[in-house]
Structure 1
Amino acid sequence: MSVLVDENTRVVVQGITGGEGKFHTEQMMDYGTNVVAGAVPGRGGQEVAGVPVYDTVHEAAREEDANASVVFVPPAFAGDAVFEALDSPVDLVVAITEGIPTQDMSRVYRRLQETDTHLVGPNCPGVITPGVAKLGILPGNIFSEGDVGLVSRSGTLTYQVVDNLTERGIGQTTAIGIGGDPIIGTDFIGALEQFEADTDTEAVVMCGEIGGEDEEEAARYISQYMDTPVVGFIAGRTAPPGKRMGHAGAIVSGSGTGTAESKINALEDASVPVGDTPEEVADYVEDII
């Protein structure tokens, strides 16, 4: 099994006529993803890579039975694009765009709470179920089919951990890059809930980083509600307080939470082994399964 993305996922690409949208549409299709439509205002009636383009997501979903959207729209317009997708019949929205204004995401987040739609991102690499479909920019060649779920704030760290797992012959059910912005859709707990409910996911790798309290909150959730074993990794151990390291959400305020140490301690208190390196993460997973 898998979570969020499977063989029944039918994708509409928002921003398909742009350079990034077109390139990654072709990459997704080459991987086997069922991209059925594009959506760009004013471009209805065109085709990109053999895919019909509609003016709106709602029209694309209606005409092509699309149930998921991937957003490759410039930051100034991406908030409205996500909002449009949330008001359409699609069940999953994956927002790849980096740099969406926080004020726009605040508006999107409020709307998200009124829907049953899953939003992944923004500023994320996407979601992949190996051998079935990928929605986003993930390099499909490093993933393999298996029974380990992965959720990560960092795209690059996702690739490193997955490469180590695949080299050990440890495949993945689904990998979810949730993104590192301060306001995102699916967080660690949302992803962990998905994996806990998936009977084929035998272990989960959770890759976090400094900043915020999401990892500490996830540790409490793991301790109280998860039977599926989890292995952790926290990036940014040497980051000085007050400095943003990479992602907009990766900043330590000096309040005693949000540091690498506080996150590692919270996870270890929840009986989650935390690797010092991505390779050690693979060691822990190998021991579990």
Structure 2
Amino acid sequence: MTLFINPSSKVIVQGMTGHQGMTHTARMLAAGTNIVGGVNPRKAGTSVSFTKADGGVLDIPVYANCQEAKDATGAEASVIFVPPRFAKAAMVEAIQAHIALIVVITEGIPVSDTAYCVALAQREGCRIIGPNCPGLVTLPNADEERGTNLGIIPDGIVTSGPLGLVSKSGTLTYQLMGELSDIGFTACLGVGGDPIVGTTLLEALQAFEEDDNTKACILIGEIGGDAEQEAATWAHEHMSKPIVAYIAGFTAPEGRQMGHAGAIVSGGKGTAQAKQDALEAVGIRVGNTPGQTADIMREVLAGAAQ
């Protein structure tokens, strides 16, 4: 599965030398991600040592900025682990270096900063995933030796298979991956729970529709906004593969933010019920719980196999 990235793609980590950056860089390396550099202007010219799966040591160089890292390594993707106040500058730096894929894990970024960066990325031909997201994991198919893990999605909890998963929620992503681990996935993408994100549910479904190895999709939504309704409308008109959905937040009180910055019902809009109604109106079955959602997907796959 090449959902926005190839297994051989070269990846840099902005904020690699911080605690979170180092912790998750080690995880991403263990998952097979081809990380070739880190970015921290205060530690440029140094390197960070990571233990490889075979017990050897890998020294990853640290660069002053994304352009320097790209010039030295040919980096095609970046994962951002920096505090919210530095996130806009980090995104702009990656975009100006024309890093094709930018995965922003950081939570708490001002919406105005995200809006600016998403618009800039679109003008420059870059793709942002996130912010406030768990990232992207792709699983190897029969023609690939390894997958790619960009972000904080746990590796090793799922195998390769025919399902694609796109979600607003990090923890629900992990739960559905676990529920359907025996079937497996081509890729799992967390788009993020902020009001503005760089890659939408609809765009993820478009990518899965174009992937020959993906046979069915799980969509996990939550209260706030109308991304699920937009995805449902597009899927009804263009999607040839079955979709099963789960919507979080049926008990959320109006006007109160529930976890994610974008997870809020306002003026009676963005409710879980409205989203479920829109999905079911176009034939997308919606589970009442993650477990029921997994059961429905099993039914769908069994029916398709007959």
TM-score over 0.5 (shorter chain): yes
- Within 2, Cα distance between the matches of 1:286 and 1:35? 35
Asked if 1:209 corresponds to 2:222, the answer is: yes
Aligned to 2:245: 232
- Within 2, Cα distance between the matches of 1:264 and 1:254? 18
- Within 1, Cα distance between the matches of 2:117 and 2:125? 13
The structural deviation recorded for 1:237 is 0.7
> Following TM superposition, where does structure 1 have runs of at least 4 consecutive aligned residues deviating by more than 2 angstroms?
none
For 2:300, give the aligned amino acid. I
For the 8 Å contact 1:5–1:128, the answer to whether it is kept is no
Aligned to 1:165: 180
For the 8 Å contact 1:20–1:72, the answer to whether it is kept is yes
Aligned to 1:28: 28
Asked if 1:273 corresponds to 2:285, the answer is: yes
Aligned pairs (5 A) from 1:122-161: 122-130=131-139, 131-161=146-176
For 2:165, give the aligned amino acid. L
- Within 2, Cα distance between the matches of 1:6 and 1:279? 31
- Within 2, Cα distance between the matches of 1:228 and 1:147? 11
Asked if 1:99 corresponds to 2:108, the answer is: yes
Aligned pairs (5 A) from 1:82-93: 82-93=91-102
For 1:87, give the aligned amino acid. Q
| Residues 202-260 of structure 1: per-residue CA shift (max 9 Å, x gap) | 001000001111111111111111111111000001111111111110000133x3111
Asked if 1:186 corresponds to 2:195, the answer is: no
SS of residue paired to 2:42? coil
SS of residue paired to 2:124? coil
The structural deviation recorded for 1:29 is 0.6
Percent identity (aligned): 46
The structural deviation recorded for 1:184 is 0.9
For the 8 Å contact 2:161–2:183, the answer to whether it is kept is yes
- Within 2, Cα distance between the matches of 1:228 and 1:115? 31
Alignment TM-score, normalising by the size of structure 2: 0.91
For the 8 Å contact 1:2–1:200, the answer to whether it is kept is no
| Residues 71-98 of structure 1: per-residue CA shift (max 9 Å, x gap) | 0011100111011111113211000011
Aligned to 1:220: 233
For 1:17, give the aligned amino acid. T
| Residues 99-145 of structure 1: per-residue CA shift (max 9 Å, x gap) | 11122112212212202211100010110013511000111121211
- Within 2, Cα distance between the matches of 1:147 and 1:79? 36
- Within 2, Cα distance between the matches of 1:139 and 1:51? 22
- Within 1, Cα distance between the matches of 2:118 and 2:272? 27
- Within 2, Cα distance between the matches of 1:214 and 1:112? 20
For 1:46, give the aligned amino acid. T
The structural deviation recorded for 1:2 is 3.3
- Within 2, Cα distance between the matches of 1:9 and 1:235? 34
Asked if 1:61 corresponds to 2:70, the answer is: yes
Aligned pairs (5 A) from 1:235-254: 235-254=248-267
For 2:294, give the aligned amino acid. A
For the 8 Å contact 2:15–2:80, the answer to whether it is kept is yes
Aligned to 1:45: 45
Q: Give the alignment's Cα RMSD to 1 decimal.
A: 1.1
For 1:43, give the aligned amino acid. K
Structure 2: where are the runs of 5+ without partners?
A: 50-58, 140-145, 302-306
Instruction: Identify the range of structure 1 (145-154 vs 41-50) with the bigger mean alpha-carbon deviation.
Output: 41-50
For 1:276, give the aligned amino acid. N
The structural deviation recorded for 1:195 is 0.5
